[in-house]
Chains A and B, each alone.
Chain A
Amino acid sequence: MSTFLELDHVTKTFGSQGIFSGGGNVTVAVDDVSLTIDEDEASITTVAGESGSGKTTLSRLLLGSHVPTDGRMLYRGKDFTKLTSRERRNFRREIQPIFQDPFESYNPFYKVDHVLDAPIKNFKLASSKQEKQRMIEDALEMVGLVPEETLGRFPHQLSGGQRQRVMVARALLLKPRVILADEPVSMVDASLRATILDSIRRLNRELGISVIYVTHDLTTAYQISDNIMVMYRGTVVEAGTVDQVIPNPQHPYTKLLIESIPEPDPKNRWGSEPPQQDWDTSDLQIAGCRFADRCPAVMDRCRTTKPAQFLINKHQLTRCFLHEEKGEMTDPDITSTFQTEAETIKAVPVKI
C-alpha cells in the first residue's frame, strides 16, 4: 500500500498575523486535518459542508495551490515544499481539478477543442496528430459524449452538462491518479446532474481513479461516494463511510444538515424552523467546539474545550463530546475509518 498524498495535522489560516494586527484577526479555514489518499485503492470521497466550512480551502491544499500554515503535506512520501520542479509538474498532472462553473472554465473565443489540445501539448502526451486525435476521442467517449457532435463547436453551442463533461474528459486526458471535483454539478440542471456524476463514477470504477467530490449536496454524495467527511468551519466534525454516516449521523451538525435536505416527498415536510446562526460573534477563534453556538445539545465544556476525534465504530468518527465514552482515536488520520482495501475497487495501474 503506497500513499499518494498525505496531510499530517494540516492547518491553514488566513489573515494578518503581523505585528500591527496583534495576531488578532485570523481565520482558521482548515483546522488540524490529517488524511491520506492512497494510490492502490480508488475510492470516491465526499467533502461536505456549507460555505465557509473550509471545504474549498482543503481542496486547494490538496491541489497544491495553498501551502499549509501548520503541519505537513506529503506527496509520495516527500514533503510538498521540498519537491523539485519536475516532481511538482508530475504532481500537477496526477491530480486534476474539475471546477464548479462549466461556463467560466472556457474561453468563449476558442472552440472546445482548445481545452483538450492544451494539456496534450503542455505535457507532450502525444507524438503525432493522429495520436492526439485518438486520445481526445477516447476521452470524450469515456464521458459519454459523441466526438463528432462535440469537437469543432464553441462553448456556447454546448449545454451546461456537455460542457462539464468535456471538462471531465480534459482531466481524463492527463491520466490522473486523483480527480478533485469541486461542486461539479451545482450549476447544472437536476436532470443533467446524473449524467455528469455517472461519468465521474465510471472513471473511478473503470479506470481506478480516486475522486474527491466536494459538495454541499448530501443526496448526490450518498448516491455516488464510498466515504464522506463533513466539515464545519474548518474542522472535520464527522467522517466515515457513507453507508454509516448518512443513515446514522452522530454529530449534531451532520444531523441538522441531513434534516435540512429538502426531500422530494410532500408527505414528509420539514419540521420547525432551525435557529439562525449569528455570524456577528467572531467565534472563529473560540477555544471550544465551533458548533457550540448553534448546537441543540450544547454543554458547558463545549464552549471551552475542543472535542477530540472519537471513534463511533470501525467506519465512523465524530468530533463531539456526546460520544466521548467511545474513546479518543489513536490515529488522527480520518481516512482510517474509510473503506478498506478489500471493500473498494482495486486501482488499475495506468501507463503513461
Chain B
Amino acid sequence: MVQPTNEETRLSTEQAIQTYREGARITDVDALVVENFSVFYETESGTVKACDDVSFTLKQGERFALVGESGSGKTTLAMGLMRLTRPPGHIASGSVTLNGRDITKLSDDDMRMARLSELALVPQGAMNSLNPVMRIERQIIDGILDHLKEDQAKPTKDELHETVRDLLIRVGLRPGVARLFPHELSGGMKQRVAMAIGISLRPRLIIADEPTSALDVVVQRQIMQTLGRLQEGLDASIMLVGHDMGLVAQFADTIGVMYAGKLVEVGPVEEVFSEPKHPYTKLLIGSLPSLREKREFLGIPGLPPQLIYLPKGCAFEDRCPSRFEKCSGSIPEKLNLGGRREVACHLYEGEAQS
C-alpha cells in the first residue's frame, strides 16, 4: 500500500521559493493556512486564552518550528489544529485550511478520517502513546484499517504485512520489530514506531510535538534526521513543536515564537537567529549556552504572565528591556516586515509594510 514517492505530487523546482536548507523542496503552494485561530479554556475563575488569534501559513514541503516556554500555548495550538482540544478547552474562533479545505468546519467523522491520512501527529513521549499489550504490527495496522474508505477493499493479510515491513524499514527499524511489544523497545525505537504510524497513510502535514524531549543527544539527532528524510520522501510539510532552540536551528526552515498564547515573531530560521526582532526572541536566543565560548549565561528575568490575568498591553511588557509607554497601553498587532518576516511589537511600527 505504501508506494515510493509519487512523482506527480512533487512540484517543479521553478515553483520552489527561496530556502536556506540544502536539499529543501519548499514550494509556493500553501499547505496549511491558519487564520485568527484561538483556543480558550473556560474555567471557574475566567477564560484562559491559551492560544489567541494566531495566524500563519505553511508552504508545502516546509519545516515550521513553533517554539515557546512551557505554558506559552504551543501544544494547545498543535492540538487545536488536530481538533483534539479537550473540554474545558474549545476552539473559540478562526479557520484552519489544510490543502484547500477548512478543517474546523468538518464533521467529527470527517475530521477523524482526516487525522492520520491528511494530518498526522507524532506525539511527545512516544513511550506513553503506544499500547503496552499490543504487538507493534497490530498498532500500525490499526490506523490503516480504521481509515479505509467505504468503497475500499480490505487489504489482505499479506499486503498489510508487507506495508508494516516497508514502514518499519523506512523509519530505520528491523522488520522483526513488528512482532515485539513496546516494552521490548528502547525509547528511540518507540519514537520510530510512532513515526511509522504517523506516516502510514502518507499525510500531507506532520505535527511533531517535542518528538525527542526524553531522548539522548545522539538518538535525538538520528530521530530528527529520520523524520526529515520521511517528510521529504512524502513531500509533506512539518510542524515541529518544541522549546529546544538548537534543534530548531538544525531542523527547521521557518520559526514561529509563541509567548503567552500569541505568536510574537515568524520568519525564516536563519534570519531570525541572526537578527531577531522581538525582544523576547532576542533574549531567548541570547540566553542559549554555547560550546564555542564560555560566558555568563543568563536566563530571561521574570516569569511569563498567567494566561488568565493577561495585562491590557503587551504580555511581555514587564520582562522587556526595551519597553516604552505604549507597551502597557495596547496589545501590539502583528506587523509584516517583508520577506515572510512578521513581528508583534510596538518597536517596529515604523518599519511595517502593508
Contact = CB atoms under 8 A, between A and B. Distances in A.
Interface of A: 50-51, 159-161, 189-195, 197-198, 216-220, 222-223, 246, 256-258, 260-267, 269-270, 273-274, 276, 279
A194 B244 contact: no
A160 B220 CA distance: 24
A198 B291 contact: no
Interface in B205-231: 216-222, 224-226, 229
A191 B294 contact: no
A195 B289 CA distance: 12
Contacts of B69: 189-191
A282 B69 CA distance: 40
In the A-B complex, list the 3 residue pairs whose CB atoms are closest, starting with the nearest.
Answer: A262-B246, A50-B216, A194-B299
A91 B231 CA distance: 54
B20 interface: yes
Interface size class, chain B: 35 or more
Contacts of A51: 187, 216
Contacts of B244: 190, 262
Given A261-B291, A273-B229, 10 more contacts: A51-B216, A194-B299, A195-B298, A195-B299, A197-B297, A256-B218, A261-B217, A262-B224, A264-B249, A269-B249
Nearest to A192: B299
Contacts of A260: 217-218, 220-221
A262 B221 contact: yes
A302 B219 CA distance: 23
B245 A266 contact: no
B289 A220 contact: yes
Q: Which of A191, A198, A264 has the most CB of B within 10 A?
A: A191
Given A190-B244, A191-B300, A194-B299, A263 B222 contact: no
A263 B250 contact: yes
Interface string B302-328: 010000000000000000000000000
Contacts of A264: 245-246, 248-249, 273, 285, 288, 290
Contacts, number: 120
A261 B299 CA distance: 20
Given A262-B250, A263-B250, A264-B273, A218 B221 contact: no
B219 A222 contact: no
A193 B226 CA distance: 29
B243 A270 contact: no
A302 to B, nearest CB: 19
B222 A274 contact: yes
Given A220-B289, A270-B225, A50 B219 contact: yes
B245 A190 contact: yes
B84 interface: no
Contacts of B186: 279
A124 B312 CA distance: 50
Q: Which of A51, A193, A262, A274 has the most CB of B within 10 A?
A: A262
A205 B224 CA distance: 38
B243 A274 contact: no
A261 B246 contact: yes
Contact of A159 (B172, B220, B303): B303
Nearest to B216: A50
B218 A257 contact: yes
B16 interface: no
